[in-house]
Chains A and B, each alone.
Chain A
Amino acid sequence: KNEVEQSPQNLTAQEGEFITINCSYSVGISALHWLQQHPGGGIVSLFMLSSGKKKHGRLIATINIQEKHSSLHITASHPRDSAVYICAVSNFGNEKLTFGTGTRLTIIP
């Protein structure tokens, strides 16, 4: 069993829909990261969370430490949101990342 599990693996939605991507982890962590990887390959850090909720524009990330679960939400989705979203965790004392397998999101106009 992987330390970090994401679901779904693939998600296709219509423009404007509310999107939720889930991440579960099995180890103790210091922080959970949500990353975005566009088709060109570059990786951008969207959020880094250790508790609660963060919001940036149309993106919202939440984490439940007790349940070892995080969600990434996208409101009013747009075709430019099409990308692979990757959940990753880092551990106390070392910020190296352990990654989930990613969720490929496609938003259809």
Chain B
Amino acid sequence: DSGVTQTPKHLITATGQRVTLRCSPRSGDLSVYWYQQSLDQGLQFLIQYYNGEERAKGNILERFSAQQFPDLHSELNLSSLELGDSALYFCASSDRTSGKAFFGPGTRLTVL
């Protein structure tokens, strides 16, 4: 157990819908990273938050947004879903001292 929690584990929805994925980092970690793993693109960085502020942005679509709350949990919002958004979405946090990454179990999103 990495200490990073993600909910839900699985999500099945239809095209055009909106979903919210939730992540809580390890106790004491201030950074949250969101990654997408799809069959054709592999693992890709989406966005990073540090102590409530957006720190870095990667290949995140405009239909996607995220935020980090005062209690440091984070939510990734995906809207106007398309078939190609089907993927595993991982959240990770990093140790403040070492930078080592700890991954959550992932949310498997299926868009039908």
Chain A interfacial positions (CB closer than 8 Å to B): 30-31, 33, 35, 41-45, 48, 86, 88, 90, 94-99, 101-102
Contacts and interface: CB of A to CB of B under 8 A. Distances in A.
B interface majority secondary structure: strand
Interface residues of B, number: 25
Given A30-B99, A44-B103, A48-B99, A96 B48 contact: yes
Given A43-B90, A44-B2, A102-B42, A97 B106 contact: no
Interface of B: 2, 31, 33, 35, 42-45, 48, 55-56, 58, 88, 90, 92, 94, 98-103, 105-106, 108
Contacts of B100: 33, 45, 48
A86 B56 CA distance: 22
Contacts of B44: 99
Contacts of A43: 90, 92, 103, 106
A95 B55 CA distance: 10
Contacts of A33: 100-101
